[in-house]
Amino acid sequence: MTQGGTTQPMEPSTAAPTSSGEPLVVVQDLVKYYPIFSGLFKRHIGDVRAVDGVSFVINKGEVFGLVGESGCGKSTLGRTLLRLLPQTSGSATISGEDIFAKRGKDLKQLRRRMQIIFQDPVGSLNPRMPVSDIIGEGLLAQADGTNQWKNRKTRDERVGEYLEVVGLRRDYARRYPHEFSGGQRQRIGIARALALSPDFVVCDEPVSALDVSIQSQILNLLLDLRREFGLTYLFIAHNLSVVQYISDRVGVMYLGKIAEMAPVERLYADPRHPYTVALLSAIPDADPRRRKRRLVLKGDVPSPANPPSGCRFHTRCWLRTQLGDPEICSTEEPALRDLGGEQFTACHFAERINPELIKVAAAGQSLVDTSDASDDAEPVSAAAPSA
């Protein structure tokens, strides 16, 4: 949000999801399948389509938030980007360099540029290593002729510096992870990620395992560090308030695909995908006296091993119900369309969404049960024949 330019609406752009600013990370049609094997001979019987054709651009200095329910593929996406998981297909570049083409020495070089901060502050730090080794390990692994990191003293010096950068004391380097609180451990994880001076950091739900009081500290630390070191974040989370606070642009993921992508203010003010609308209506209100009508989604997320045909969201879509179940939703997969103002939405009926309709849908779904809901919706669907 502090970054100028990136969040301001631009003139209607071309079909590819782009935005203003200098692109740092460009992801094109990224696909990651987990094969399913079965039987004695381990026959390949299918795939879990964790990430199924995702494209986006992250600009230099920007925080790109990625939200979605558990299991929608957002963490897989982050880890695939960092070469922690092998990709199935697609491409990704950082400053024009092909991330997936690197091997051996080149890959190791590349790793300096992209780092990760994990969700679990306990599992992400080796319990048998002192903090000095945890943070210094990357330096040791990356030691070469251009730096002095082979030398323990140089390394420890740098470890101390980064401990202070993340708000910890230098002498904590001698301690072991179990001697720290959750927030402190997360700071250690951040120091480890930053010690190699990366440009790009994947934050994989970095605050969801923390106390609410600690969450804001860590978020603010991340924002401070971005300013100080000119970092670019891919911020993965399922907490919409957190994403709203920290992100410049946000992508909403559903079942391995991006449903909607827009600058943060725009996405929260004027969501154009029924899934985004439902997510936003689920944000808890700080004022308990205010009764909020929620758009409650029915059923569970379908299995990513066998995603629904057409639009992946159509099995749970309230908008489709309101529109009288148009056929196109289950037959044709909606492309990510440019709605102007850097907003991209993968919905056939994105233009139909308006506050009035949302209110009707919310009322229909939360006040009366589903059988009545379609009756209530009748006037709307009759007034809006399929486009």
Partner 1 sequence: MTTEHRAPGGGTIEDIVAVPDNEVALESLSQWQLARRRFRKHRLALIGLFIFGFMVFLAVFGPLIVPFNPMFLPGAIKAGGDQPSLAHLFGTDANGRDVFAMTINGARISVAVGLFSMIIAGVAGVTVGAVAGYFGGWVDNVLMRVVDVLFAIPFLFIILVSSRFFGKGDVLSLVLIFGLLSWPLIARLVRASFLSLREADFVDAARAVGVGDRRIAFRHILPNALGPVIVAMTLLMASNIVLESFVSFLNFGISETQISWGNALANAQGALSFGDWWWAFFPGMAIALTVIAVNFVGDGLRDALDPRSRE
Please give the residue ranges that form the binding site for partner 1 (CB under 8 A): 79, 82, 84, 107-108, 111-112, 114-116, 118-120, 123-130, 134, 137-138, 141-142, 169, 171-172, 174-176, 178-179, 189, 192-193, 196
Tokens of 159: 């470890």
Please, what is the minimum distance in Å from the beta carbon of residue 350 to partner 1?
37
Nearer to partner 1, 84 or 368 (CB): 84
Query: Could you give the residue ranges of the DSSP H alpha helices within 332-369?
Result: 355-367
Gap between the Cα atoms of 236 and 376, Å rounded: 37
CB of 225 to partner 1, least distance (A): 17
Nearer to partner 1, 132 or 345 (CB): 132
Asked if residues 273 and 224 have their Cβ atoms less than 8 Å apart, the reply is no
Smallest distance from the beta carbon of 75 to partner 1, in angstroms? Answer: 11
Residue 110 or residue 357: which is nearer to partner 1 going by CB?
110
For the bound state, the minimum distance from the C-beta of residue 219 to partner 1, rounded and expressed in Å, comes to: 20
**Closest distance to partner 1 from the beta carbon of 224 (Å):** 22
C-beta of 198 vs 271, nearer to partner 1 = 198
Tokens representing 45 are: 């019987």
Q: Which is nearer to partner 1, 17 or 183 (CB)?
A: 183
List, edge to edge, every strand of the sheet that includes 23-38: 43-59, 23-38, 89-94, 97-98
Distance (Å, whole) CA 303 – CA 54: 18
Rounded to the nearest 10°, the torsion over CA 2, 222, 76, 24 is 50
Q: Is the dihedral of CA 246, 252, 254, 258 positive or negative?
A: negative
Nearer Cβ to partner 1, position 174 or 227?
A: 174
Least distance CB 170 / partner 1 (angstroms): 9
Nearest 5°: phi and psi at 236? -95, 135
